[in-house]
Amino acid sequence: MRQKLAAGNWKMNGTAAALAEVDALNSHSSIAAVDVVICPPATLLSRMSERLTHSSIETGGQDCHPAASGAHTGDVSAAMLVDAGAAYVILGHSERREDHGETSALVCAKAGAAMNAGLTAIICVGESETQRDDGTTLTVIEDQLAGSIPDVVTARNLVIAYEPIWAIGTGRVPTLSQIEEVHDFIRTNLITRFGEKTGAATRILYGGSVKPSNAAEIFHVVNVDGALVGGASLKANDFSAIITALAASA
């Protein structure tokens, strides 16, 4: 039985005032029923983690460098995320693959560093609209999975997030059968590569315009174990409604 996971990716949003949303979220009873993680900007990570010391809500980073330390101006290592209280790190988000030219090989190196530091890596994969239209979605996902996941993983330190790029922040969502097709494909891929035990126990999240209004139907799709939520994770009311829907699907 896979524990459901609701992950909030705040992206480059939020200053200290936004921590009030975390306090509000923390007061919702639904958070106890599933795993919840919020990945704020690096500048807020320590303060958010301290604020959540006695909460079941965990925190995560949005990226890390593959090296443990050194001359890498502007970067943050996996150990630094752990030091700031993080339990998770998002890696290979399409915004980093596009904005920073991150390759799957680099994502793989980052994931290895994250796992080595004790973090759970949420590795993102997803096709562009052109690739969807060209019918190459599953090939793209297969290549990203093969290149981005290190060989030595466990079901505890790996989460896959399927995020079709064309659905991120657009209000457009794939059909439920499209989501099911890709999630089933990822499940089979994980079982083939890592064996039944690890492959069947690894959580697969859907991400891309998840809202309170569409969360319940998405969470009833087979092999959807939760969501990676962007915009709707910034407001406690919206994120708690999504978490409630996830808890109800368990």
Ligand X SMILES: O=C[C@H](O)COP(=O)(O)O
Contact with ligand X (CB under 6 A) among 59, 63, 231, 245: 231
Tell me if 163 contacts ligand X by CB under 6 A.
yes
Q: Per rule CB under 6 A, is residue 78 in the interface with ligand X?
A: no
CA 161, CA 116: separation in Å to the nearest integer? 20
Residue 163 falls in the annotated catalytic set: yes
Number of residues located near ligand X, criterion CB under 6 A: 14
183 is a catalytic site residue = no
Distance spanning both ends of the chain, measured CA to CA: 10
Tokens at 89, concatenated: 């790190």
Q: Is residue 242 a contact residue for ligand X (CB under 6 A)?
A: no
Residue placing its CB nearer to ligand X in the complex, 112 or 231: 231
Tell me the CA distances in angstroms from 34 to 31, 67, 249, one per residue in order: 6, 32, 10
Residue whose CB is less far from ligand X, 7 or 108: 7
Convert 155-192 to b/e letters by CB count within 10 Å (16 or more is b): bebbbbbbbbbbbbeeeebbeeeebbbbbebbbebbbe
Site string for ligand X, 2-31 (x = CB under 6 A): -------x----------------------
Token duo for residue 56: 């079941």
Catalytic residue among 21, 58, 65, 93: 93
229 contacts ligand X (rule: CB under 6 A): yes
Question: Of these, 111, 208, 218, 242, which contacts ligand X (CB under 6 A)?
Answer: 208
Q: Is 209 in the site for ligand X (CB under 6 A)?
A: yes
Q: Is 238 in the site for ligand X (CB under 6 A)?
A: no
CA–CA gap between residue 78 and residue 185 (Å, rounded): 29
Q: How many CB atoms lie within 10 A of CB 215?
A: 25
Is 9 annotated as a binding-site member? yes
Q: Which is nearer to ligand X, 76 or 173 (CB)?
A: 173
Residues sharing a CB contact under 8 Å with residue 148, sequence separation 6 or more, in sequence order: 91, 92, 104, 107, 108, 111, 123, 125
14 is in an annotated binding site: no
Pick the closer one to ligand X by CB: 141 or 199: 141
171 vs 195, which CB is nearer to ligand X?
171
**Is residue 92 annotated as involved in ligand binding?**
no
Please report the sign of the dihedral spanned by the C-alpha atoms of residue 172, residue 173, residue 177, residue 178.
Answer: positive
Active-site residue set: 93, 163
> Which positions make up the binding site for substrate?
9-11, 169, 209, 230-231
